[in-house]
Amino acid sequence: MSALVLLLLAPLFTGSVKWLKARLTHRVGPTPLLEYKNYLKLLGKAWIRPEVGTPVFLLGPALALVGALAAASFLPLLPGPRFSGDLFLALYLLNLGRFFQMLAALDTGSAFGAQGSYREGLVTVLAEPGTLLALAAAGLLGGGFSLSSLPVLTPGNALVLLLVLASLAVALLAEGARMPVDDPTTHLELTMIHEAQLLDHSGPLLALYEAAAGVKMLFYVGLMALLLPGAPLWTFFLLAVAWVLALAYLETYGVKLRYLRLPDFLSYNTLFGVLAILGAIWRL
């Protein structure tokens, strides 16, 4: 059920960010609901497969979305599957989709696709350890490595969980290919990371990628909502609105970091994760 909610809200989430960015630059901008129409338009178009392409080219978009939805199904926002260790399985399901996305970009033989895959792989290597450590710290405080047993922010565990929330915020920017890690609106191939991998995909394949990107960002919003007080579903909705505001302001008034500066920025994610796990061990 949680996966279905995230899939339905993903176009509204990304569409709201685009609308608010337009308003911040004194433009009318498209309605936030336009993303639903764009998805339907892409699904109705034909797709093109490169002559050198293999079935991996088709599997990449499908598995990117399937991995994101499978991970989202473990979020205890609504009834769904629960078991010990689903916290780590959910993260690796997300990265399974990313892995096949990188393979699909390489499969086309495109220089820009290969460049984007290399850079995406570097972002993953730099961002994943800190996220895992941060969630492990939350699991230690909650007494189990299940998403349904994560602790809620209280004065007693505030220091550790604030570090976990900071790590998840950096992971959302990296996983969602948002500023300052990547610019989702760039048209300069040499600066692209995520978008460079999608240049050869069109029609329904591109729609699958767009949906997967939105679900991934909402998945991290859902993780943060589980750590905050209140009903998880309502906290998720409020936090999603807050992230729409944050992303719109960040991408309107912020700048994209140079590629060689990304390790410096993503190292904060590792730092937050290490400090969080040390804090959790100290409390235990």
Inform me whether the pLDDT recorded for 109 exceeds 90: no
pLDDT at 138: 94
pLDDT at 21: 94
pLDDT at 152: 94
pTM of the model: 0.95
> What does the mean pLDDT of the chain come to?
91
Q: What are the boundaries of each domain within the chain?
A: 2-283
Of residues 70 and 192, which shows the higher confidence score?
70
Report d(CA 156, CA 127) in Å as an integer. 27
pLDDT band at 85 (very low <50, low <70, confident <90, very high): confident
pLDDT at 145: 87
Mean pLDDT computed over 265-278? 95
- Encode pLDDT of 161-216 as tens digits: 999 999 999 999 998 888 889 888 877 767 788 888 888 888 999 999 999 999 99
- Encode pLDDT of 28-47 as tens digits: 888 999 999 999 999 999 88
pLDDT at 177: 86
pLDDT at 175: 86
- Encode pLDDT of 140-175 as tens digits: 998 888 998 899 999 989 999 999 999 999 999 998
Of residues 96 and 224, which shows the higher confidence score?
224
Mean pLDDT computed over 93-115? 88
Inform me whether the pLDDT recorded for 1 exceeds 90: no
Percent of the chain whose pLDDT exceeds 90: 61
pLDDT at 283: 83
Mean pLDDT computed over 116-136? 91
pLDDT at 20: 95
